[in-house]
C-alpha cells in the first residue's frame, strides 16, 4: 500500500485544531451520541494519531469517517479556521486506498456507481430514462401495491421509498446550448446541469437559465456534461475526482466566461476547490485556479451582479428557508438566498429554527447511514412545520429530495422549492401581467 496521504500532509494542518470544543454543539453526530469519537475534534485526533503512527488505519477508523456527515458545521464554529473539509476528504481517500472497508458487495456497488455510472453521463441518462419509464407506466405503483418490495434485500427495501421521481425531459431537452438575453448581453456564463439535478430537477435548471437570461447573461449550457467529481471527492475516490475536474475544465474553459454557475450547493462546495485538487497537474493547475475564481453559486452571482427585482404584486405566501450545509458552511453563502427570497413579490420570509442544522441528506449519508439520516430528517421536518410556511426553499438537490420525502412521510402539504425557482416564477408572472395589460 502506498504511503497514507494523512502522513504526507503539512503537519500544521493536523495541528491546527486547538481541541477547544466549540465545534461540539454544532456537530449533529456528537449531538446524537455525545461520544468524543463522533465529534470533529475526536475525528481529527484519530487522523493525527494515524499520521503519528500511534494508531493503525483499520475498519474502526473507516466506519468513523463514514459516520461523519461532512456537513462542515464545525468549520463555521471553529475559531482556529481548521480546514476540516480537506482533512475529511484526505482521510476518506486513505480509507479507500488502504482497503480496510473492502468487501465484495461494497466493491461492486462503488465500482458500478462511482467509477462507471457517474463517469458516463449518457449512461446515467439511459438509467434515468429507464427509471422514468418504470414510474410513468405504473410499474412502480404496482410493484409497491403488490408488496413486492418485501422481496428486495433489506438495505434496498429501506431505500426504495426514497426513489426520486424522474422528469420526462432532461436539461438538454429544456435548455438550448446557447441562450441570449433579449435586452443585450452583459455577461457570458456557463451553466452546470449536474447529475441527479439533470434527471430529477431539470426544471430547476430551466428556471436557473431563465433567471440568468432575465439578468442580461448569455447562458452557455453544453448538452452533455460530465459529473463534477463531487460525489467522488467526498467519498474517497481522489483520482477519479481529479479526472472529472479535468473533463469539466476542458468543457468549460474558465478564461472564456465571466462566471461558471452551479445551482447545487454540494457540488458547488467541491467545484470551488479544483485549484487544490489539480495543484500538481502542470497541464491544468493554471486553468483550475481560474476555474475557482469564476465558479459561482447562482444565488451568489445574482446578488453580485445586482439582480433585477420582479415588478408587480402577488398573493402573499409564507416561505421559510433551509440552508444546505455545503452552501452555508462550505461556501459561507447565507445572506444571498434570503435577499432573493425577500425581493420576490408576495413572499413573506419567516426564519426557520435551526436553519443551518443538517437535514440528514449529506451527499449519500441517507443511503450509507439511514438511521442517523432519518433522525435528522424528522428533526428538520418538525422545525419546518412550526413556521406555518406554505413553502420551504433550499439550494441543493439532496436536501430538496430529503425534505420532500420527510414532509410526505409526515403528511404535510408544505411544498419544497428553491429561491431561483421562485424568482423565475415571479419573472414569468411579471411577463404574464404585462401581456395581459397589453391585450386589454
Predicted confidence at residue 434, as pLDDT, reads 47
Q: Is residue 225 part of a domain?
A: yes
Q: In 3D, which of 72, 71, 14, 86 has the Cα closest to residue 46?
A: 14
Is 91 within the bounds of a domain? yes
Q: Which residue, of 260, 285, 305, is where some domain finishes?
A: 305
In the beta sheet, which residues pair with residue 321?
393
Q: Does residue 335 sit in the same domain as residue 424? A: yes
Q: Give me the mean pLDDT over the 323-328 stretch.
A: 96
Segment 388-401 shows an average pLDDT of 96
Q: Quick check: helix, strand or coil at residue 426?
A: helix
Does any domain span residue 407? yes
Residue 381: its pLDDT value, please? 97
Strand partners, 53: none
Q: Which residues pair with 262 in a beta bridge?
A: 297
Last residue of a domain, one of 55, 75, 98: 98
State whether 92 and 177 are in the same domain.
Answer: no
Quick check: 230 pLDDT over 70?
yes
For 127-141, how does the pLDDT look when each residue is reduced to its tens digit (9 = 90+)? 999 999 999 999 999
Q: To 5 degrees, how large is the angle CA 437–CA 439–CA 440?
A: 65
Residue 24: the pLDDT is 96
Alpha-carbon span 29 to 34, nearest angstrom:
8
Final residue belonging to a domain, choices 254, 284, 305: 305
pLDDT band at 437 (very low <50, low <70, confident <90, very high): very low
Of residues 390 and 3, more confidently modeled: 390
Query: What was the pLDDT predicted at 433?
Result: 53
What number is the average pLDDT over the span 412-429? 96
Q: Does residue 164 belong to any structural domain of this protein?
A: no
CATH of the domain at 296: 3.40.50
State yes or no: pLDDT of 421 exceeds 90: yes
245 and 200 co-located in one domain: yes
Tell me, yes or no, whether 31 and 76 share the same domain. Answer: yes
Mean pLDDT score across all residues of the chain = 92
In three-state secondary structure terms, 417 is: strand
pLDDT tens digits, 20-37: 999 999 999 999 999 999
**Residue 420 located in a structural domain:** yes
pLDDT higher than 50, residue 438: no
Question: Do both 299 and 189 map to the same domain?
Answer: yes
Average pLDDT over residues 310-331: 93
Q: What is the CATH number of the domain that holds 54?
A: 1.10.1060.10
Name the strands in the sheet holding 347-349, side by side, starting at the edge strand that comes first in the sequence: 347-349, 317-321, 391-393, 415-417
Tens digit of pLDDT for each residue in 35-46? 999 999 999 999
Same domain (yes/no): 300, 330: no
Mean pLDDT of 52-70: 93
Domain region containing 265: 171-305
- Name the band, by pLDDT with cuts 50, 70 and 90, for residue 183: confident
Using DSSP, state whether 213 is helix, strand or coil: helix
Q: Does the residue 433 lie in any domain? A: no
pTM, rounded to two decimals: 0.92
Percent of the chain at pLDDT > 70 equals 98
Confidence of residue 3 (pLDDT cuts 50, 70, 90): confident
Q: Are residues 184 and 280 in the same domain?
A: yes
- On whether the CB atoms of residues 57 and 98 are closer than 8 A, the answer is yes
User: pLDDT digit string (tens) for 283-316?
Assistant: 999 999 999 999 999 999 999 999 999 988 788 9
Given a cut of 70, whether residue 435 has pLDDT beyond it is: no
Mean of pLDDT values over 196-221: 97
Q: How many separate domains does the chain show?
A: 3
Report helix angle 238-251 to 285-294, nearest 10: 70
Amino acid at each position: 500500500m502506498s504511503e497514507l496521504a494523512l502522513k504526507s500532509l503539512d503537519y500544521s494542518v493536523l495541528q491546527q485544531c486547538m481541541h477547544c470544543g466549540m465545534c461540539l454543539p454544532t456537530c449533529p453526530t456528537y449531538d446524537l451520541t455525545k461520544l468524543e469519537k463522533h465529534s470533529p475534534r475526536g475525528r481529527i485526533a484519530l487522523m493525527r494519531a494515524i499520521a503519528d503512527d500511534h494508531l493503525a488505519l483499520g475498519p474502526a477508523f473507516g466506519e468513523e469517517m463514514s459516520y461523519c456527515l461532512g456537513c462542515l458545521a464545525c468549520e463555521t464554529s471553529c475559531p482556529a479556521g481548521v480546514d476540516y473539509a480537506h482533512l475529511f476528504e484526505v482521510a476518506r481517500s486513505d480509507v479507500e486506498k488502504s482497503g480496510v472497508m473492502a468487501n465484495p458487495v461494497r466493491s461492486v456497488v462503488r465500482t458500478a456507481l462511482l467509477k462507471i455510472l457517474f463517469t458516463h453521463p449518457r449512461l446515467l441518462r439511459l438509467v434515468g430514462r429507464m427509471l422514468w419509464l418504470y414510474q410513468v407506466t405504473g410499474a412502480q405503483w404496482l410493484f409497491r401495491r403488490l408488496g413486492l418490495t418485501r422481496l428486495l434485500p433489506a438495505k434496498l427495501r429501506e431505500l426504495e421509498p426514497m426513489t426520486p421521481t424522474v422528469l420526462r425531459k432532461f436539461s438538454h431537452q429544456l435548455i438550448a446550448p446557447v441562450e441570449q438575453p433579449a435586452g443585450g448581453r452583459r455577461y457570458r456564463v456557463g451553466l452546470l446541469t449536474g447529475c441527479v439535478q439533470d434527471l430529477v430537477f431539470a426544471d430547476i435548471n430551466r428556471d436557473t437559465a431563465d433567471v440568468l437570461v432575465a439578468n442580461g447573461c448569455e447562458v452557455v449550457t453544453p448538452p452533455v456534461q460530465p459529473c463534477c467529481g463531487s460525489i467522488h471527492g467526498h467519498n474517497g475516490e481522489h483520482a477519479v475526482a481529479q479526472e472529472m475536474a479535468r473533463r469539466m475544465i476542458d468543457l468549460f474553459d474558465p478564461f472564456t466566461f465571466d462566471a461558471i454557475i452551479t445551482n447545487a450547493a454540494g457540488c458547488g462546495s467541491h467545484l470551488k476547490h479544483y485549484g487544490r485538487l489539480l495543484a500538481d497537474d502542470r497541464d491544468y493547475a493554471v486553468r483550475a485556479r481560474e476555474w475557482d475564481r469564476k465558479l459561482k453559486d447562482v444565488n451568489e452571482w445574482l446578488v453580485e451582479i445586482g439582480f433585477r427585482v420582479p415588478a408587480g404584486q402577488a398573493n402573499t405566501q409564507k416561505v421559510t428557508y433551509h440552508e444546505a450545509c455545503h452552501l452555508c458552511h462550505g461556501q459561507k453563502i447565507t445572506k444571498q438566498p434570503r435577499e432573493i427570497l425577500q425581493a420576490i413579490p408576495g413572499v413573506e420570509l419567516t426564519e426557520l429554527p435551526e436553519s443551518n442544522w443538517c437535514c440528514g441528506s449529506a451527499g449519500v449519508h441517507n443511503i450509507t447511514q439511514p438511521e442517523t439520516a432519518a433522525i435528522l430528517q424528522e428533526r428538520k421536518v418538525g422545525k419546518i412545520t412550526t413556521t406555518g410556511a406554505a413553502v420551504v426553499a433550499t439550494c441543493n438537490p439532496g436536501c430538496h429530495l430529503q425534505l420532500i420525502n420527510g414532509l410526505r412521510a409526515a403528511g404535510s402539504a408544505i411544498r419544497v422549492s428553491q429561491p431561483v425557482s421562485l424568482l423565475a416564477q415571479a419573472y414569468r408572472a411579471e411577463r404574464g401581467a404585462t401581456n395581459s395589460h397589453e391585450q386589454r
